[in-house]
Structure 1
């Protein structure tokens, strides 16, 4: 049995959010969408639920943070290569997102951040395969 992951994110404009996420290569799931929110499939088991901010607020008694001001969470997705990390971030920026900081290169991991048009933070990373990281660590020892 696999586990599906649903990440709920507030949005001020569902149409804009939908176009942004489609530009990243995701799939719109109309059967899990309505006037209050849309479902975006990242893959077979990971879904982003972009929900109108007013409706999102009915899920909790806590205040809803403005993601343009306060970072509540950052969702990170692995990619198969550094080039794929660069490509998805470039697509996101072209679709109205913003890259809030420069790329981070730790040797064993390369990552870039992307804020969607609502300010929600996404991370994209390429981690060197474990065997290559081990070979590199042994070479440096």
Structure 2
């Protein structure tokens, strides 16, 4: 069995966050979605659990990060092509996300990023090889 990843992210407005990820082309799994949480399906092995702050607090005694002042998490997602990287960032910006950098081409890797409406950072990248050995 392949390992699966479930990222748990606190969100302020669950319907708005669900709409954002839908605009990126991702669906939600209704079996794990209610008024406090939504399971966003990124791939067969990657899922993002969007959790209201009250729901998120049930999993940790720590405070939820104020993402307007501090970085909570940086998530990297691989893409099949440079075009997919650019398309995903464009969709994120059109859906209300932001970006804090420009695309970067390192030869073996092309990357860009966006920040979702709740301040979670997403790096998107396409690797066409391995970095040069030094």
Whether TM exceeds 0.5 here: the answer is: yes
Q: Distance in 2 between matches of 1:69 and 1:58?
A: 23
Contact kept, 8 Å, 2:109 with 2:129, in 1: the verdict is no
Q: Unpaired segments of 5 or more residues in structure 1?
A: none
Aligned match of 2:80: 80
Q: TM-score by structure 2 length?
A: 0.92
Measured after TM superposition, the shift of residue 70 of structure 1 is 1.2
Aligned match of 2:29: 29
Number of equivalenced pairs: 134
Bigger fraction of residues in helix:
1
Q: Unpaired segments of 5 or more residues in structure 2?
A: none
Aligned match of 1:97: 97
Q: Distance in 2 between matches of 1:68 and 1:81?
A: 31
Cα RMSD of the aligned pairs, angstroms, is 1.7
After TM superposition, which residue ranges in structure 1, 4 or more long, deviate above 2 angstroms?
none
